[in-house]
């Protein structure tokens, strides 16, 4: 039986459209039996989220609550096909974990498959980005072969996002896109991470939809970075 030890993507009330506190998320992670939990608030260009100062002050928070190791970071917004991000490198360097994602309100929607792929590949050049968040949304089409090869070469993790797979989710064609991405991950030996993308404590560590796909594809366990916190850390710039 596969054991997932950490959740690398979740939000608290600081993100503005999420509903639980840090303490509630830590407790929920412990109750789920996780050893590690990342809290990755939306970076400043997302409407309603916290200010840059929030990220600058994360050092004051203890990294262990309820026996769970906490990772504080950000989910950056990819702003354009050049891979422009919305927090400066000097700050990213200090964060425990950094995700970069495309979100409609920041990136817009009218770019081509080539431009979206280029955006991700450009972001992978940033040494402080650890994870590409939910590259599964059909509204932002991607060449999965190029994405996976880029991730393998740059040592970035590709995220499999549980929230994208919700039956009532707003990301388009996520299941098919994730399956395609995972097939290339297996082909090229690229590692993935699982993110609940929880916006409320009951969803912390919830990988129910991911598990179905992983089982269906019999995706190799050695390509999952979060089977232990130690393994995860080898992919995070802050711990290398």
Instruction: With contacts defined by CB under 5 A, name the span among 71-79, 89-97, 106-114, 229-237 that binds Zn ion.
Output: 71-79
Nearest-approach distance from CB 39 to Zn ion, in angstroms? 10
Q: 116, 174, 124, 164: which is closest to 140 by C-alpha?
A: 116
Which of 12, 20, 77, 101 touches Zn ion (CB under 5 A)?
Answer: 101
Q: Measured at CB, which residue is nearest to Zn ion?
A: 101
Task: Give 77's strand partners.
Answer: 101
Distance CA(171)–CA(158), nearest Å, equals: 17
Distance CA(134)–CA(172), nearest Å, equals: 11
What is the pairing mode between strands 6-7 and 192-195?
unpaired
Q: Which is nearer to Zn ion, 49 or 101 (CB)?
A: 101
Do 101 and 133 form a contact (C-beta atoms < 8 A)?
yes
Q: 109, 102, 238: which is closest to 161 by C-alpha?
A: 102
Q: Which is nearer to Zn ion, 75 or 86 (CB)?
A: 75
Instruction: With contacts defined by CB under 5 A, name the span among 50-58, 118-126, 193-201, 212-220 that binds Zn ion.
Output: 193-201
| Residue 137 near Zn ion by CB under 5 A | no
Which of 159, 197, 201, 203 touches Zn ion (CB under 5 A)?
Answer: 197
Q: Which is nearer to Zn ion, 46 or 68 (CB)?
A: 46
**Taking each helix axis from N to C terminus, what angle separates 174-188 and 208-217, rounded to the nearest 10 degrees?**
50
Q: Which is nearer to Zn ion, 11 or 118 (CB)?
A: 11
Instruction: With contacts defined by CB under 5 A, name the span among 30-38, 50-58, 98-106, 174-182 that binds Zn ion.
Output: 98-106
Q: Which is nearer to Zn ion, 95 or 153 (CB)?
A: 95
Distance CA(95)–CA(63), nearest Å, equals: 12
Instruction: With contacts defined by CB under 5 A, name the span among 53-61, 164-172, 183-191, 196-204 that binds Zn ion.
Output: 196-204
Instruction: With contacts defined by CB under 5 A, name the span among 20-28, 99-107, 136-144, 220-228 that binds Zn ion.
Output: 99-107
Binding-site size, Zn ion (CB under 5 A): 3
Nearest-approach distance from CB 141 to Zn ion, in angstroms? 17
Task: Give 7's strand partners.
Answer: 37
C-alpha distances in angstroms, 101 versus 106, 124, 202?
Answer: 10, 11, 23
Helices (H), 35-139: 52-56, 89-92, 104-107, 113-123
Nearest-approach distance from CB 197 to Zn ion, in angstroms? 4
Q: Which is nearer to Zn ion, 3 or 37 (CB)?
A: 37
Given the rule CB under 5 A, which residues bind Zn ion?
Answer: 75, 101, 197
């Amino acid at each position: 039986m596969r054991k997932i030890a950490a959740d690398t993507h979740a939000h608290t009330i600081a993100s503005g459209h999420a509903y639980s506190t840090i303490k509630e998320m830590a407790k929920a992670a412990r109750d789920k039996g996780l050893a590690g939990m990342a809290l990755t608030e939306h970076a400043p260009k997302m409407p309603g989220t916290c200010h840059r100062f929030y990220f600058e002050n994360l050092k004051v928070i203890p990294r262990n609550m309820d026996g769970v190791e906490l990772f504080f970071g950000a989910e950056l917004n990819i702003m354009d096909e050049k891979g422009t991000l919305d927090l400066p490198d000097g700050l990213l360097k200090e964060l425990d974990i950094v995700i970069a994602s495309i979100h409609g309100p920041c990136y817009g929607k009218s770019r081509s498959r080539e431009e979206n792929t280029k955006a991700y590949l450009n972001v992978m050049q940033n040494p402080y980005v650890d994870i590409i968040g939910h590259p599964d949304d059909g509204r932002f089409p991607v060449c999965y072969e190029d994405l996976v090869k880029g991730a393998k070469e740059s040592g970035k993790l590709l995220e499999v996002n549980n929230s994208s797979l919700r039956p009532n989710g707003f990301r388009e064609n996520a299941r098919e896109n994730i399956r395609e991405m995972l097939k290339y991950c297996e082909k090229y030996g690229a590692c993935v991470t699982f993110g609940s993308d929880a916006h409320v404590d009951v969803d912390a560590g919830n990988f129910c939809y991911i598990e179905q796909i992983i089982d269906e594809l019999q995706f190799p366990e050695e390509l999952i970075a979060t089977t232990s916190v130690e393994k995860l850390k080898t992919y995070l710039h802050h711990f290398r």
